[in-house]
Amino acid sequence: MRKLAVLAFKEVLVAFRDVGALAMMLATPLALTLVMMAAFGSGSDSTPISDIPVLLLNRDTGTFGQVLTDIFFSSSLDNLVMPTLIDEASEAAARARVEADEVAALVIIPQDFSARVFPFGARAQELTGMDVTTLAPNASLTPEQQAGVAQAFMESYMQRESPREPSPDDPVVVEIYASPNWRISVLVVKAIVSQGLERLNIQIAGTTNIMARLAAGMLQAGQTDVAAAMSAMSAGTAGQETAGAADIALPIKLVTTSTTGRGFSWLGYYASSMAVLFLMFAVTSGGRTLLAERQRGTLPRLLISPTSALTILLGKMGGIVLTGVLQMLILWGATTLIGAYWGHPGGVLLTIVLLVICASSVGALISAWAKTPGQASAIGSAITLIGGALSGSFFVRWNLPQWVQHLSLVTPNAWGIEILARLQAGRAAATILPWLGGVVLLTIFYYALALVGFRRQFK
């Protein structure tokens, strides 16, 4: 029993004295858990997506433009968005703020929004002097108001098959002018606008049904001399009532316009982020070959040959870089064939080359300081997984808190995702030059640290 205990205790000591094993057993799952909590919350009511800055330009003077605007100021969205109303004179400045990534989006409601979405309601308000969209089902109107409602309904019906729909060939356009760097926030804004349009859909359908019943009452009382038209109209309205509000589509076109002309693509994002993640797996695994050769005795034999240590090192790392470049090029081509867009080819190619060199510096750093190939493999896997989680390889990077995004810039993953995301959003190649400069500086830093360790390895 004592021998068994000693052997067991010895295995425990070996495991806990191995830095690589500790990284894989403890550091990696703990770091992944913390990053997931930062991205998705701790299970409480809090959300990492909050206080999204949105500008609202309401050119409409009717009811429905105000209804759509008020949704952004509702109590249910208090912690989600920070809306700001602007006037017509501030539109140019507002678009400039979106282009500068100061705010997520500018929502523009057109001037004739209410009148075009619900022309029957606008005509009824003109004839009766009241806002018919606020009527309750049991509302009582004066004879003059009832006559105005009936006349508006009849005029609209005579002009179109449905009294509430303008021509589908000329829809009302609600524009969302969006920043490509606020990808998730723009999706939230679009969802809020879509919810508002659905609410308008239900409200207009209910108002139409109320007005149809009033018009039908006028018909039964014999207060109109177009009995045939009203009979057909009331029959058609009855069919609309039974169809339900959800079956009637508003003649509205919601347009999301990016400042660069390209919107966010899930396929493009995950195609590039997964490519960067598995690039890190490949280069960190390749970096341990020096340790394996030293363990097998081939490295010492190379060192006593007429070949300098620098040549051996550069040859090994050059092979790793070439492998990584080929890997990224293959993934780029394969994902492009299925519809992923990575950006301007010149910018993507330059990014791939610099990114692979930067990733190889991490592999070199691990190989320079690890003691065994197994330790290097464990440390490389841990660094790759943690770096992938911090950088946004497993979920959208911009869902992470700002401090996590900044911290992740110690990894090549974060730089690669940031640069490729900008290219995917349609940014010009010149705009990524500062980011490429950051990649170069990170590469120099890691290779400098690795060089110190390699001097120890080649002694």
Per-residue pLDDT reduced to its tens digit, 190-203: 889 988 888 787 77
* pLDDT over threshold 90, residue 296: no
Per-residue pLDDT reduced to its tens digit, 77-108: 888 889 999 998 889 999 999 888 889 899 99
The pLDDT of residue 444 is: 95
* 39, 400 Cβ separation under 8 angstroms: yes
The pLDDT of residue 312 is: 64
Share of the chain above pLDDT 70, in %: 63
Please give the C-alpha separations between residue 6 and each of 15, 21, 121, in angstroms, as whole numbers: 14, 20, 88
Q: Give the lowest-confidence range in 220-224, 283-287, 294-298.
A: 220-224
The pLDDT of residue 45 is: 46
Q: Where are the alpha helices (DSSP H) in 304-432?
A: 309-337, 345-369, 373-391, 402-407, 412-424
* 377, 288 Cβ separation under 8 angstroms: yes
For residues 319 and 58, the model is more confident at 58
* 351, 423 Cβ separation under 8 angstroms: yes
Give the side-chain half-sphere CA count within 13 A for 282: 21
Query: What's the mean pLDDT when you consider all of the chain?
Result: 75
For residues 408 and 219, the model is more confident at 408
Element spanning 275, H or E: helix 266-286
281: pLDDT confidence band, cut at 50, 70 and 90? confident
Q: What is the mean pLDDT of residues 36-51?
A: 56
3-class DSSP assignment, residue 241: helix
The pLDDT of residue 414 is: 93
* 423, 332 Cβ separation under 8 angstroms: no
Please give the C-alpha separations between residue 146 and each of 130, 217, 233, in angstroms, as whole numbers: 11, 9, 16
CB atoms within 10 A of CB 410: 16
Question: Tokens 């009331």 label which residue?
Answer: 234
245: pLDDT confidence band, cut at 50, 70 and 90? very low
For residues 336 and 453, the model is more confident at 336
Q: Edge-to-edge, what's the strand order for the sheet holding 81-86? A: 81-86, 52-58, 105-109, 172-178, 252-258
The pLDDT of residue 300 is: 60
* 81, 51 Cβ separation under 8 angstroms: yes
The token duo for 187 is 């999706």
226: pLDDT confidence band, cut at 50, 70 and 90? very low
CB atoms within 10 A of CB 203: 18
Residue 263's nearest CA partner among 176, 149, 136 is: 176
* pLDDT over threshold 70, residue 310: no
- Residues with Cβ < 8 Å from 48, sequence gap 6 or more? 38, 39, 40, 41, 399, 400, 401
The pLDDT of residue 266 is: 77
**Most confident segment among 236-245, 276-285, 325-334, 426-435:** 325-334
* pLDDT over threshold 80, residue 34: no
Share of the chain above pLDDT 90, in %: 17
Per-residue pLDDT reduced to its tens digit, 328-381: 999 898 888 888 899 889 999 999 999 999 998 998 888 888 877 778 888 888
Residue 249's nearest CA partner among 188, 194, 306, 308 is: 194
